[in-house]
Structure 1
């Protein structure tokens, strides 16, 4: 199916068996392109005509991270734990053709719905595994990636077995020595769950002898309460001598106003949230 064959009158839908929620692919009348809705809530945006056009802020920040951390156009091995409408996978194929990509998705019906209604860019090398992110990651044995994206967290409703240091340790162990973990965390205005995840990931990086956790987000979320997303970064790549150059680019590329916190700044920003004792 081509982009021209997709019209508002040909909406695609599926009933998801794990969450028991309906999923829809619908036309985006505001930004153009197409939207994946699950349970009536927008989850992903896809522009078939231009896969580098990313609407959601946190995905744009992740794309900027990938752009800087590896030479332009160089294929990377990347795994996506939870991928929605495969927006970032499409971006990787468009900007780094030939990148072998793996998706782990718990909703069995979702990848088929997405790839049928919104075809992937030509030449995409994509493997899909269906199941729990932690269980399927364990099935990979000693397979390693340049980048591993975790996009399964939504505040206090997040799966507890994924929101823990041990899971982050397992994820870090699937990275190359110079690899990077990118974690999207959506949370409410209290930011208690984000703060908890910062500490869990920080403890995991410390145990693995890594430099700590970086945070990318909308600057206002650090100064006034609001619902929003934060991207956490960890891994050996962040020990690169170029990391400050990357940081400047991540902040410059936005979306704006952008905040980019290094490990020390991340610890300070979340020190007292949900954990009043000093560290």
Structure 2
């Protein structure tokens, strides 16, 4: 049942998110005025997450259910619009910084099932040192809250690379003055729920030990992964009003008939 729920979560995060077009005002960060980026999702560079795992079941190994947390920072390689690569202005770097925690269960078949139950993350623009691929500090332009999230990671020793997938459903809040809908409305003030679906491909686990130095101990290792994020924001008001008008027109036609 757990694996079915996990598969359902990852599938829904991958395919159920509806992306509406968003405008990022990149001229706020020394970009050229008029060169604002219009996109519907963003593509991340591969990164390494620092992971801490605690032997909370006191078994001394990773056979049971344990506490799991990870944090990291990854830069955005591309904004995308319908799959087309749009790039990032050379005047700045955009980073996604994250910290998530939950539990991990070794299901006994070479797979770790991770469920996240807490976490925060955000988008930042870094103009301190541009082009080094490292977050040197910057301005936060969006924040995310965790609604739900899960991973399934293969740790079968017969496989050369540990692989897996993660799907996270996030609530989304934009900072004022950076993101707009197609009507030019600032998305930090527009009503309606704003969400994001983060899809991650797990490429490898580095340094995970099957046993702990002692029962109840912790161990630190790294997970390498790649991913992208799809944004879902409310439709512009004019589109909603147009839709209501069309409904009224359809009703009038039925009454006339």
Larger helix share, 1 or 2: 1
* Same-fold call, TM cutoff 0.5: no
**TM-score of the superposition, structure 2-length normalised?**
0.23
User: Which protein, 1 or 2, shows the higher relative CO under an 8 Å CA cutoff with sep ≥ 6?
Assistant: 2
Structure possessing the higher radius of gyration over alpha carbons: 2
Tell me the TM-score normalised to structure 1 length.
Answer: 0.21
